Each structure stands twice: as C-alpha cells, then as structure tokens.
Amino acid sequence: MLDLQRQYEQVRAEILQAVGRVCASQHYVLGPEVEQFEREMADFCGTREAVGCSSGTDAVWLALAAAGVQPGDRVLTSPLSFFASASAIVRAGARPVFADIEPATFNLDPQKAGEVLRGGGEAKLRTLLPVHLYGQCAPMDSFQQLADEFHLAVVEDAAQAIGASWVNATKTDGKATAKRAGSLGVTAAFSFYPTKNLSAYGEAGLVTTSNPEMAAHLRRLRNHGSSRRYVHEEMGWNSRLDAMQAAILRVKLKYVEGWNQARRQRAATYDRLLAETGLARAAAPAQSAIAPDDAPIHLPYTIPGAQHVFHQYVIRAYRRDELREFLSARKIGTEIYYPIPLHLQPCFAYLGCREGDFPEAERAAKEVLALPMFPELTEEEQRWVVQSIADFYC
Ligand SMILES: Cc1ncc(COP(=O)(O)O)c(C=O)c1O
C-alpha cells in the first residue's frame, strides 16, 4: 500500500544532516527550525502565516478555534472523512452538522450544504469545514458563495491535500487564478502524519492563515494560551511542533511538488491500465451506483478546477470486500477510506442521525477502495495490481 523506505533512501543524507543540526542546537521544541518551516509552508501555500502544531487533529481544532468557533456553535462538515474532522469540532465545543457528499468526487456537496442552511434549522451554524478528500480540493467557489450568503467562515481540512490547488477560487480582471489548498479559507489545517504526501517521522501538523491576528491567536492556543511566559491569557493546550519534525519536514518540502507530480503520473497509469482491461467505467461527473450489469470498477473523477495530488487513488468496486480479500491474498495492500461514515459512528449517536440520512456517503463507504499509491510505486507493480483486479472479475 505504501513503502516509506524508498523515499527515505532518496533523502537519507539530508535528513540525517537535519537531525544532527537539531541535536547540536539543543532547541527541541518550537524555535528557529519551526519558524523557518512555518515561513516556508506559508510561502508554499500562498498565505501570510503558518503555525506549526503537534498533529493534524490539533491543527483542525486550532483552525476552528482561531476562526472563532465558540462552545455551542455548529460546524458543517462531510460525513465521509477521517474521524478528526468531526472530533475536532467537538473539541472546539461545537456540534458537528453533516450534509451529503458529491458521489463523483466524494467531497462535501455544496448543494446539499446549501439545503441544510436554507432549511434554517441551524441558527448557530457559523462555520463550514469542507475536507479536501483524497487530495482533491472541495469546490471552494461554491462554499465561498454559501459563506457570503449566510455570513459563515470557511475553514479547510487540508490534511490530505498539501500542494493541491483550486483554479476558479479568485478571479482577477475576469481571469481565473489557481490558489493552493491552505489559502482558500480563513484558516486551514494540515497533517504530516507519516502516510501523508508530506510526512514527518512522527506526529506533526500546521495551520495556515493570512490573518495576522488569527496567527497570533493560534500561537497562543498551541502554547497553553500564553504569549508571555507564565501568563495565560486564555485556555490553551500543549500543541507545539517539535524542532526535529520541522527540520525533517523542511528537507521534504523541497521535494513535495515533484512527489505530487509522480502521484499524478501513477494515477494516470492506473486510469489507462484499468481502462485497458475493459472492466472500468471512465470517470464521470454523474456517478451511478455500482451494479452487477455495469462495469465493476469506476475510476476516480477530478472535477474541473481542481488540481488533484492523489493522496489516495480511490476506485469504486463491485463486490469490494471480496476483491480486497483476493488482493490481500496476493500481498497487495488496499484500504477503505472510510468504512463507517461519521454520522453513524457510535460516539456521535447523540446527534440523532440515522442510516439513510446521507445515502451517498453511506454508499461510498460500501464501494470505495484505495489502491497502492506513492511516488515511488513502479509501473510493474501497478500492472500487477491491475492484472490481479482483472483476474478477480474474469
Ligand atoms: C481529513 C483528515 N483530517 C484530519 C486528520 C488528522 O491528522 P493527524 O492524523 O495528523 O492527527 C487526518 C489524518 O489522517 C485526515 O485525513
């Protein structure tokens, strides 16, 4: 599914040098390495500020808190995401509200979000948290329109989308310009968990913003609510970023665009090889259900305007669980992101959601399958994955 050793071999000398530099500096938490990394990440994302923290989960919480989410508020997000998208809302004192996903991209559907808002039952809903799932930006123009109409803040869960961009986000002189994930809302959260496109050797996260006051607030919140030693202006937590992780991430950040390009190439190779088997239906904006008399595989769809970074290459598959077992017997790793939608998680029973509330998210949970994807994956390995899928269906 993922071989991190191959990437390590490429950057090993630089990583060891960076680790040595931190050990010699005796600065292990925050400090100059973290500040440099924050500067470089802000430049990369096209924001004024970036604030490192201890994980992507904390980054989502910090981003929401800095965007002004208060206890008792409601925050609208996708039911098809990693648990932290919703748990961070709860940690900020708010209540998660869900709307269904777009079946083609698996991202939160702005039309469905609009229906929730126009339904009017969510008076305390002041924040939208779209997730750029699998490395593809959610349709941010539409979310910005909703935010303008209903006076909401848009916070991005960009944990899976470093380097992804959205082309129609701003129009200067009538021309569309591309903006990177991280610069599309008031704040945005990134994760550098070891499986991510830019990965630490441990836990790490970061929040971006172009608002200096929010950045100052984020810096306080991640450090016990304190900007001066032993003076705690507000409640905060220990959410600081280690210098060691920052130094490692600084080495890798230089390569991330190339690695993302390699992921896109591998996605195109999967598209081609799967199409050649005759078993796959081309990616389409309108996805219908996987059905026995249809192609058993549906390819991923990239929406116009999004530049995908393929954190995951996710197909829909007929008899998904049996296919997964078949591939596993051939030592081919696959994953299901995510098998239980958030609104059906036991810990969110108090929200009162039921099976059938978000049918597209529930259907996706039964059909999606992530195939092996990382920049160093070889064409030979991809051919073996696709051949094995063909062997299962034929
Ligand atoms: C969409 C999303 N949000 C938040 C997170 C949380 O990040 P972390 O694992 O670094 O805490 C992740 C990580 O898996 C994620 O995929």
| Residues near ligand 1 (Cβ within 6 A) | 55-57, 60, 81-82, 84-85, 131, 157, 159-160, 191, 193, 205
Distance from C-alpha of 296 to C-alpha of 316, rounded to nearest angstrom: 8
CA of 12 to the centre of ligand 1 (A): 25
> Residue 165 in contact with residue 308, Cβ under 8 Å?
no
Q: What mean pLDDT do residues 365-385 have?
A: 98
pLDDT on residue 293: 77
Q: Which protein residue has the closest C-alpha to ligand 1 atom 10?
A: 56
Which is it for the CA torsion 169, 144, 195, 51, positive or negative?
positive
Number of CB atoms found within 10 A of residue 97's CB: 25
User: Model pTM greater than 0.95?
Assistant: yes
Q: Is residue 172 pLDDT above 70, yes or no?
A: no
The answer to whether 99 and 115 are in contact (CB under 8 A) is: yes
Peptide bond into 338 cis (omega under 30): yes
Closest residue to atom 14 of ligand 1, CA basis = 82
Q: What is the pLDDT of residue 292?
A: 75
> What is the per-residue pLDDT across 111-132, written as a single tens digit (0 to 9) for each?
999 999 998 767 789 999 999 9
pLDDT for 120: 77
State the distance between the two ends of the chain, measured CA to CA, in whole angstroms.
Answer: 23
Q: Phi, psi (5° rounding) for residue 21?
A: -60, -40
pLDDT classification of 170: cutoffs 50, 70, 90 = low
| Distance from the Cα of residue 210 to its chain's centroid | 20
Distance 192 CA to ligand 1 centre (A): 8
Protein residue with least CA distance to atom 12, ligand 1: 159
What digits encode the pLDDT tens for the residues 210-236?
Answer: 999 999 999 999 999 999 999 999 999
Mean pLDDT of the chain: 95
State residue 48 phi and psi, 5-degree precision.
-80, -30
- Tell me the pLDDT tens digit for each residue of 192-213: 999 999 999 999 999 999 999 9
Q: CA 327, CA 274: separation in Å to the nearest integer?
A: 15
Handedness of CA 379, 383, 385, 389 (dihedral sign): positive
